[in-house]
Amino acid sequence: MRKDLKRLDKKIRRNKSATKNKADNTNGGYKDGDQMVDLFKDFKEHSIAEFFKKNRQMLGFSGPARSFTVIIHELVTNSLDACEEAGILPEIEVEITQLAEDHFKISVKDNGPGIPEKYIGKALGKMLAGTKFHRYIQQRGQQGIGASGCVMLSYLTTGKNTIAISCFDKVRKEYEIGIDLKRNEPILRKISEQPTEESGLTIISEYKELKYEKSNKGPFEYLRRTALANPHATIKLKEPDGTVSVFPRSITVNPPRPFEIKPHPLGISAHDLLEFCQRYAKDYRKLSSLLQEVFSRVSANKVAELRTIVPDVDFDKNPALVNWEEAEKIVNAFKKVKWIAPSMDALVPIGKEQIEASFKNIFNPEYLVVTERSPKVYRGGIPFMVEAAIAYGGGIAAAGKKGEIMRFANRVPLLFDTSSCAITETIKTIDWNRYNLKNFEEEPIVVLVNFVSVYVPYASTGKLAIAPEEDVMDEIKFAVMEAARGMQRYISGKRKTMELATKKRLVMRYVPQLASDVAFLSGEKKEKIEKKLVEIIESKYSKEVEEEETKEEDNQNEEKESEEEVDVNE
Amino acid sequence: MNKAVLEKLRSLGKKITEEIERGESPTFETPLRTKANTIYDEGLGCLRIGDKKETRKFLSMSQAKTFMQTMAIAAKTKKFIEEELHTSIRGLFYQLKFTLGEDIEEDLFSEQSESNALIEDLEVALGIKREDLNLTTDRKGFVAGNMIIKDKFGGEETIIDCSKQGRSGWSIPSDVDNDMEIKKVEANYVLVVEKDALWQRLNEDKFWKKENCILITPKGQSTRGTRRLLRKLADMNLPIYALMDCDAWGWYIYWTIKTGSMNLAYLGRNFAVPEAKFLGVTMSDIEEFPFLKKLTIKAKEVDIKRAEEMLEYPWINKHKEWVKELKLVLKTKQKIEQDALQGERLTFVGEYIKDKIEKKRWLP
């Protein structure tokens, strides 16, 4: 089943690339490509709406509760990207109004640059028209179904068009946007136009077949986590019951813009290679020069090496003429060559201090550990990084969080498909007993994992779970264990302190009675004896804390070392 | 008012105050009252507590409360002495059964068993007995004989003549030391009979008058008061003769009088009468007085077990007479009650005792 979805996913992506590269798509004769062109024809003939209706779940719009969160996700992600790209600190307002049992109006407003009239139709009224597809750059989403998908869902469930208000270049323009489902073309009608000092985009759309849930998978939690992973953004939410929540930003600098990198030969599949050949056929006459220019770490020497590994492949042929078999051979040959590791500087994590600030701001936990780890590579060629944080007690307890895992991919909260996600699966294998957290599920604890990569290996098209890549799982494990060790030190220290405090309290409660009896026996003053006794107890129990803590630290260090060894062996 | 005891309590308070002054955890040292620390003192002829001691600290989780409770008992009993008022150990418990504070859900004492044990600790630690702390125990035990007692009690002095107590006898109080004085004893010996029934028999027979002895029954196990009285009479050079059942209980009662018991070994020599002699009833009496043969009872398991245990005790098995006696019990598996002596004639008991004493036929 999942294989089917993957294939379909590929087809969609291919289809989209076909649309985008229509001009230079010379219909390069590979089998898979042919099938996809056929499929794309099917869309046109049977209307994109029907395809969408049938395959809604593939885009994440499955089930009334999940669809709700996905809509919020698509619109808010668009807003965040737009603001960051324009160098504006994001300020996003989400307002949800319930119109009937399953009928909602959703308004998402940002302070981004707005969209020029020329592009607004395409951006919101044409499926798969985004600019994000298949670039080796760290980004929130990887497909362009986003906002236009919402516009379509709105139309399909309510028959209504979406209202978009774009404040761009000092002009406020209000539009009604629909999609010509037969032609997959936007239908745009301008409602008003007036000058403004503001900038930004507001999208107001209605939906049916939705269910608002205040659960761990609902819009509130989605936005809270988005705010957590995006400390530079201020996010406001008005819920159907009128509750207004504000998650204010905790830092006032946008994260650095991730930049695009050339793919590393070890990180691509035959399918990817073919696509590059198709896309860049007009730029490079020879396959060998395309390989050297489009991919990183491929030099003339390396091409020569490839030639000797697969002598039957003609590296001088026109890239457009490369077929599936050849692509497969080349990709297999890639695996036999020793490559320099890919460049890691394209990764932009949230950052240790930023996560700390953000957690304090949003949850104010009693204790927080954030790990800082260096980038790694999976599949030999794709750089990635894992950020992990464990927050304990305080606001975490107040928020009712117990043993909760917060998954993120490039700062985007992953709320669904929990069981198939590499993050959940990995954390499940951790023995919390080792970290003095016997009842992980019952403790006021949140584990945050942010997977950062130029290419996120999603487990399915819904993009809400990370595929269980071995390198990725290992790194997640190490990151979480590192944080857990920090937490363990705190918790055991805290337990010790609490035990001592309990002891002290117990002894203290006997002091007045004892002082009065000893005073009566000896004939001395009760007050004097009591005061001195309190002093003795105070100094004894504070001393014990210090002594025991130092001992504890030493033990921990030893343990840590031995544990590290175990990790390696595992 | 017992000035010496008051001084001991004051010193205890003083020592603890000094420890606190020095910034130390207050401590309370008490001899260990365990079986392992109970020894038989050959020289004294009785059981006593050994040299092992335990130091209780206030700044210790497991001992803090006990420490405080011990001081509460010490302080409270000091007050009793100063006020010249007595109470029972239960009365003391109720005096100390109160909450430690308005918002504290914990009582100073919640069970009498807690305070009972700590009273014993205080006794042994300070080398005093509970009666010195104005703590009374239940009375049990009666006296008839030529003995004059001066009893100062409740601010009044009373002279008691134990020869003029009719059929009931003088009831031995829990404390025969404080405000109590034996003015005069005119007797040849002291006779302790286990059972009240036998005491009444001998009283009716005017046995004590005819024999000029002090007739005492502890009515089973001796109270502390009875044991103290026996000690004091022994100190007046009166021989102490005991007439008990020939069974587990009878032996136990006798040996408690003579050497003290394991449980109360801390009381030591002041409560023991090593000079006491065991007149009977013995296994050899059965041979001596044929009528007793028919009156034996089959020994119970507890009697057999007790006999076996006694053979193990060094302070018992050092007497060959007792070894012989106990082995006979184990062999015949019979026992005999002192009441059996009345089996033939009610007045036989007196003759039996006289005969035994005359012929010195007793067990040590």
- Whole-Å CA distances, A27 to A272, A321, B24, B238: 16, 10, 94, 133
Q: How far apart are CA A514 and CA A87, in angstroms?
A: 70
Assigned token pair, A111: 């302070």
pLDDT band at A31 (very low <50, low <70, confident <90, very high): very low
pLDDT of B273 strictly over 90: yes
Pair A435, A480: CB distance under 8 Å: no
Looking at beta carbons, which residues of chain B come within 8 Å of A529?
17, 20
Tokens at residue A297, please? 């770490």
What residue in A sits closest to B107 (Cα-Cα)?
Answer: A510
The 3 state secondary structure assigned to B194-246 is CCHHHHHHHHHCCHHHHHCEEEEECCCCCCHHHHHHHHHHHHCCCCEEEECCE
Residue B240: pLDDT above 90? yes
What torsion, rounded to 10 degrees, do the Cα atoms B342, B347, B348, B349 define? Answer: 80
Q: Let me know: does A204 contact A107? Beta carbons within 8 Å.
A: yes
Q: Is the pLDDT of residue A171 over 90?
A: yes
Question: Chain B residues within 8 A (CB-CB) of chain A?
Answer: 9-10, 12-14, 16-17, 20-21, 23-26, 58-59, 61, 64-65, 67-68, 71-72, 74-76, 78-79, 100-101, 104, 106, 108
> Domain range spanning residue A532?
509-569
Q: Is B352 a catalytic residue?
A: no
Search chain B and give the residue with CA nearest A502.
B61
A356 and A276 in one domain?
no
Average pLDDT value for residue range A280-293: 90
CATH domain B142-358 topology? Dna Topoisomerase Vi A Subunit; Chain: A, domain 2 (3.40.1360)
* Distance separating alpha carbons of residues A336 and A232, to the nearest angstrom: 44
Strand boundaries in A372-457, DSSP class E: 376-378, 382-392, 404-409, 412-414, 445-453
**Chain B neighbors of A509, CB-CB under 8 A:** 100-101, 104, 106
Of B61, B68, B78, the CB nearest to A520: B78
Asked if B58 and A518 come within 8 Å (Cβ–Cβ), the reply is: no
The answer to the question of residue A253 being in a domain is no
* Shortest distance, CA B56 to any CA of chain A (angstroms): 14
Percent of chain A surpassing pLDDT 90: 49
**CB–CB of A518 and B61 under 8 A?**
no
Is A547 inside a domain boundary?
yes
Measure the N-to-C terminal CA separation of chain A; round to a whole number of Å. 32
pLDDT at A138: 77
Name the percent of chain B lying above pLDDT 90.
46
Average pLDDT over residues A339-360: 90
| Residue at A272 is within a domain | yes
| Reported confidence tier of residue A58, pLDDT bands at 50, 70, 90 | low
Q: Which chain A residue has its CA at the smallest distance from B57's CA?
A: A507
Q: Which of B40, B94, B254, B266 is catalytic?
A: B94
A492 found inside a domain = no
CA distance A546 to chain B (A): 17
- Residue B94 pLDDT > 70, yes or no? yes
- Minimum-distance CB partner of B17 among A507, A516, A518: A518
Contacts of A300 (CB under 8 A, 6+ apart): A288, A292
CB A517 within 8 A of CB B106: no
pLDDT at B35: 82
Any domain includes A499: no
Interface test with B, best of A503, A531, A532, A536 (most B CBs within 10 A): A536
Fold of B3-136: Arc Repressor Mutant, subunit A (1.10.10)
Question: What average pLDDT does the segment A55-67 reach?
Answer: 79
Q: What is the number of H-type helices and E-type strands within chain A?
A: 17, 14
Give B268's pLDDT tier (boundaries 50, 70, 90): confident
* Mean pLDDT computed over A44-65: 69
Helix (H) or strand (E) holding A193: strand A185-195
Q: Of A9-18, A99-108, A319-328, B183-192, which gets the smallest average pLDDT?
A: A9-18
Closest to A452 (Cα-Cα) out of A480, A404, A412 = A412
Q: For residue B25, is pLDDT > 60?
A: yes
- Taking the Cβ of residue A159 and every Cβ of chain B, the question of whether any pair is shorter than 8 Å is answered with no
For residues A65 and A57, give the distance between their C-alpha atoms in angstroms, rounded to a whole number: 12
Tokens found for residue B197? 């029934």
Distance from CA of B232 to the nearest CA of A (A): 31
Is there a domain that residue A493 lies in? Answer: no
Q: Cβ–Cβ contacts within 10 Å for residue B49, how many?
A: 21
Q: How many CA atoms lie within 13 A of A39 on its CB side?
A: 19
- The residue with greater pLDDT, A98 or A152, is A98
Return the pLDDT at A11: 42
Distance to chain A for B29, nearest Cα, Å: 15
Rg of the Cα atoms in chain B: 23
Task: For residue A552, name the pLDDT band (cuts at 50, 70, 90).
Answer: very low
Of residues A228, A49, A67, the one with CA closest to residue A127? A49
Residue A550 clears pLDDT 90, i.e. is over it = no
Question: Is the per-residue pLDDT at A18 higher than 50?
Answer: no
- Cα separation, B166 vs B163, in Å, equals 8
Q: Which residues of B are less than 8 Å from A537 in CB distance? A: 59
- Whether residue B13 has pLDDT greater than 70: yes
AA letter at B356:
K
Contact A513 B14 (CB under 8 A): no
- A493 to chain B, closest Cα gap in Å: 20
Amino acid at A191: I
- φ, ψ of residue B173 to 5 degrees: the values are -75, 170
Q: Is the pLDDT of residue A322 over 60?
A: yes
Does residue A356 lie in a domain region?
yes
For range A294-311, the mean pLDDT? 92
A228 and A267 fall within a common domain = no
In this prediction, residues A75-96 reach a mean pLDDT of 93
The verdict on A386 and A442 lying in the same domain is yes
Q: Which of B20, B72, B79 sits opposite A513 (nearest CB)?
A: B72
Tens-digit pLDDT profile for residues A130-169: 444 456 777 776 554 678 888 888 988 999 999 999 999 9
Q: How many CA atoms lie within 13 A of A420 on its CB side?
A: 13
* Token output for A133: 């597809």
DSSP lists the bridge partners of residue A386 as A451
Q: Are residues A222 and A103 in the same domain?
A: yes
Q: Given A506, A529, A536, which is nearest B23 (Cβ)?
A: A536
A249 phi/psi in degrees, rounded to 5 = -70, 150
Q: Which tokens is A264 given?
A: 């590393």
Same domain, A35 and A154: no
The 10 Å CB-count burial string (b at 16+, else e) for B75-86 is bbbbebbeeeeb
> What kind and span of H or E run contains B94?
helix B89-95
Query: Average pLDDT, stretch A358-365?
Result: 94
Mean pLDDT in chain A?
Answer: 82
CA distance A562 to A556: 10
Distance of CA A335 to the CA centre of its chain: 29
What pLDDT score was predicted for residue A146?
Answer: 76
User: Residue A192, exposed/middle/buried by CB under 10 A (0-12, 13-18, 19+)?
Assistant: exposed
Whole-number pLDDT of residue A544:
53
Q: How confident is the model at residue A46 (pLDDT cuts 50, 70, 90)?
A: low
Q: Cis omega before residue A337 (within 30°)?
A: no
Residue B16: the pLDDT is 93
Check: CB of residue A566 under 8 Å from CB of residue A485: no
- Same-domain check for residues A121 and A171: yes
Residue B284 — pLDDT band, cuts 50, 70, 90?
A: confident
Indicate the domain borders of chain B.
Answer: 3-136, 142-358
Give me the residue label for tokens 């985007």. A412
How many residue pairs bridge chain A and chain B with CB atoms within 8 Å of each other?
Answer: 86
- Provide the edge-to-edge strand list for the sheet that holds B240-243: B170-171, B142-144, B213-217, B189-193, B240-243, B277-280
Residues A442 and A547 in one domain: no
| Contact status, residue A478 vs residue A25, Cβ threshold 8 Å | no
Residues in chain A closer than 8 A to B26 (CB atoms): 514, 518, 533
Q: What is the mean pLDDT of residues B232-256?
A: 91
Contact A310, A317 (CB under 8 A): no
User: Which has more confidence, A551 or A135?
Assistant: A135
Domain count, chain A: 4
Tell whether A259 lies on the interface with B, counting CB pairs under 8 A: no
pLDDT at position A145: 61
Q: Do A532 and B10 touch (CB under 8 A)?
A: no
